[in-house]
Amino acid sequence: MAAPSDPSTLYPDIATAGSLAAALQAVATRDGLGVSFSASESDPLRDASVTSTVPHRTVLSISAWAVERRWSIRGSEPSQGMTLVDGDTDDLAQVARAAQAWHDGAELAALHRAAPFVHLTGRFEVADHDPVQLTESEWQHLRTEAGEVDWPEYRALIEAAYAEPALRGLYPFTSHWTLRFSTSTRPRLSVVPLCVNAYRQKPYTVSAQLMGEALAEAPTAEEAVSAAVRRLPSGLGPVTHGAG
C-alpha cells in the first residue's frame, strides 16, 4: 500500500497523467482554454506553473496538498516578490480557469470572477515599480488583511495609521503583527525606528524597536497613531525603491 505521503494515493489521476501539468493541460483542453502549463522537474505530480504575458507578474505557482486532495495557487509581482493572488480549491477546472486569466494578463478582479476560489490580497499591480504606488499597494494589502482577521483592535490600528498622512507616506510592513515603517520598499527596507502594537482589550503601545520597551501607551488606535507621529525621526524623505 502506498504511504500517505505518496501523491499517487490522493492523486491517482495525476499519476496516470504523468504530472500535474499534464492533468491541468487535459482539463484546459477539455474546457476550450488555451493556456499552457509547465511541470516541475523536482516534483511533477505536486507542482506546476504558468507564465504570464505581462512583465509585471511572476509565474503562477500551483501546488498539491500533501494530506488532502486540494490545490493551492500563488501569483506574485516581480519587483518585491509580494503575493497578489492566492487561494485553494479541490476543483482542477477552477485552477485551469484562474491560470488562463493570469496568463492572459486579465485584471486581478477578473481572476476572482473567473475562478471564485482566487483570493485577492489587496495589493495591486505596479507596472513601472513606482515606489509611491508600491507603498499604496502595501497599505491596501494591510487594510485587506486586517479586515479578514477577527481582531478589531488591529483593524482599527491599520485604519488609523492609514488615515494619518505622515504614516501613510511611509512604506508599511508587519513583524509578528507589529506595524512598522520603512523609507524604502522591499526587497531592501530602510526601517524607521518606530513600532506600534495592538492588543486585544489592552492599551496600544508605541516603541522604537520590535519587542522593545514601550515608549507610550494609548487606549485608542487614534491616540496611539498620534503618539507614533510625535516620535517620527525628522527629515524622512519620500519613499524610494529598495533595490536588491
Residues 15 and 101 in one domain: yes
Q: In the chain, how many domains are there?
A: 2
- pLDDT reading at 2 higher than 90: no
The Cα–Cα gap between 120 and 124 comes to 9
Q: What are 122-179's pLDDT values in tens digits?
A: 999 998 989 999 999 999 999 999 999 999 999 999 999 999 999 999 999 999 999 9
- pLDDT reading at 1 higher than 60: no
Residues 79 and 168 in one domain: no
Residues 78 and 155 in one domain: no
Q: What are 58-115's pLDDT values in tens digits?
A: 999 999 999 999 999 999 999 899 999 999 999 999 999 999 999 999 999 999 999 9
Which residues touch 179 (CB under 8 Å, ≥6 apart)?
142, 157, 158, 161, 172, 195, 196, 197, 198
243 within a domain of the structure (yes/no): no
236 within a domain of the structure (yes/no): no
Total residue count of the chain as it appears in this document: 244
**pLDDT at residue 102, as a whole number:** 98
2 within a domain of the structure (yes/no): no
3-class SS of residue 25: helix
Domain that holds residue 209: 131-230
- pLDDT reading at 3 higher than 70: no
Task: Give me the torsion for CA of 132, 134, 136, 141, rounded to 10°.
Answer: -170
| Total-model pTM | 0.93
